[in-house]
Amino acid sequence: MEKIKGVIIASDHRIHKTLSDVLKPVVEVVGKFSDYGEAYRAIKELLPHAVFIEAKGGDLTWPEFVAKLRRQMPRTMLFLIGNKDPDLILKGMRSGVNDVLPYPYSDEEEVLSIVREAVKRFSKEEGKGEVLGVFSLKGGQGITSIATNLADHICRLTGDNTLLLDLNLFMSDVALFVNLAPQYTIFDMVRDLDRMDEDLLFSSLARHNRGFYLLCGSEKIGDAEDVAADDITRMLGVFKQYMDYTIVDLPHDLSERTLSAIESVDILLLVAQQSLPVLRSLQRTLELFDEIRFRRERVRIVLNRYLRGSDISDDDVSRILDFPVSYKIRNDYRAVCDAINSGKTLDMSKSGTKINMDMEAIAASITKVGRGRAEAHGLKKVVRSIFG
């Protein structure tokens, strides 16, 4: 097991020393603090995998501090350091800690075992799902169409739990594209975050007859103001835990909410066209990503509405952006409009078109599952469902 980075917060410096020694086989302690405020500022810089928090009083109580960390850093493991009092353990779990480490302790191996098991559980949950974002700062680039059809193809190719998430809270179109009227919305999801589990999630989400799930906003535009950037981060953390693939239709802005979502994705599809204004906008987007230290290896350029005979070739696009074009989607305006107007995906309405094949090729590249492998994958799922 690789070591994880950890921070210890305790007023008793003996805890710093003894806990560091005990956890040495699995945790590299990168910070030791006695004050919650100082620790919080450092944690935002150090980005540890785990934080070990002494249960103590002060201006900010440990339950408040744990809740604050859980909101801001949903993917960080939180351990409470305290006695084995059942009330403390219950209060810790309700506040959002992953586990409670007994202190003082008589058995070092017990402490180490608790952390090892928590790391295994956390790693399994974190590694399960993949989040894919589709983004363009300029509107009218076909973002919703790409996100919708990728969700359809990814679900069909893999047979895995796939979610189409529309984060355009003020003007959500995804439901219209697939002819669904979901009752459960993003605003309901935000309300339920503190009690969300697998059963509640899958019983609440709308599901298309093609198999993928859908979550979007509601017609009450005013509700969007109640969704914070932290809510988006937490929500995507939930989807990463329970969904195999989450495809996010991102807004055409750089708000805190949008940037929180972008920072949470595993792959970001930046959509371009063979147009100088669009490419200039994309240049600015890439420059911003460099400023916020968003790793470029997570970015894929998608050249949408591709025309072979255009004055701007795909090589020109790569040269202008100083970034390679990963995927091309051929132009077929009529097929896309027909699919949207019928409330169907391209594979449902125009399966034999080149544009649908391009969408499928992107999904296959992302999932590393081709048509032949998809059929075998689906057969295995059927066999497992029959024979357990």
How confident is the model over 288-310, as pLDDT tens digits? 998 888 888 899 999 999 999 99
For 149-203, the DSSP string reads: HHHHHHHHHH-S-EEEEE--SSS--HHHHTT---SS-HHHHHHHGGG--HHHHHH
Assess if CATH 3.40.50.1370 describes domain 130-387.
Answer: no
373 falls in which pLDDT band (50, 70, 90)? very low
Per-residue pLDDT at 247 exceeds 90: yes
4-126 and 130-387 share one fold: yes
Q: Express the helix, strand and coil content of the chain in percent, nearest 5 each.
A: 50, 20, 30
Q: What is the dihedral of CA 241, 178, 261, 63, to 10 degrees?
A: -50
pLDDT score, position 375 = 46
Mean local confidence (pLDDT), 237-253: 94
Q: Please state the rounded mean pLDDT for residues 3-22.
A: 91
Query: In which band, very low, low, confident or very high, does the pLDDT at 90 lie, cut at 50, 70 and 90?
Result: confident
* CA 8/CA 15 separation, integer angstroms: 8
pLDDT of residue 58: 53
Provide mean pLDDT across the span 67-79.
83
Q: CATH classification of 4-126 is 3.40.50.2300, yes or no?
A: yes
**Cα-to-chain-centroid distance, residue 145:** 20
H or E stretch at 256: helix 256-264
Write out pLDDT tens, residues 114-139: 888 877 766 655 557 899 999 999 98
59 pLDDT tier (thresholds 50, 70, 90): low
Tens of pLDDT, residues 176-205:
999 999 999 999 999 999 888 889 999 999
Compute the distance between CA of residue 22 and CA of residue 17 in angstroms, rounded to an integer: 9
Higher local confidence (pLDDT), 92 or 15:
15
pLDDT of 342 > 70? The answer is yes
Contact, 34 vs 52, CB < 8 A? no
Report domain extents, the chain.
4-126, 130-387
Share of the chain above pLDDT 70, in %: 91
Q: For 308-335, how does the pLDDT look when each residue is reduced to its tens digit (9 = 90+)?
A: 999 999 999 999 999 999 999 999 999 9
The pLDDT, as a whole number, for residue 182 is 92
More confident position, 7 or 220: 7
Per DSSP, which regions of 73-126 are E strands? 77-82, 99-102
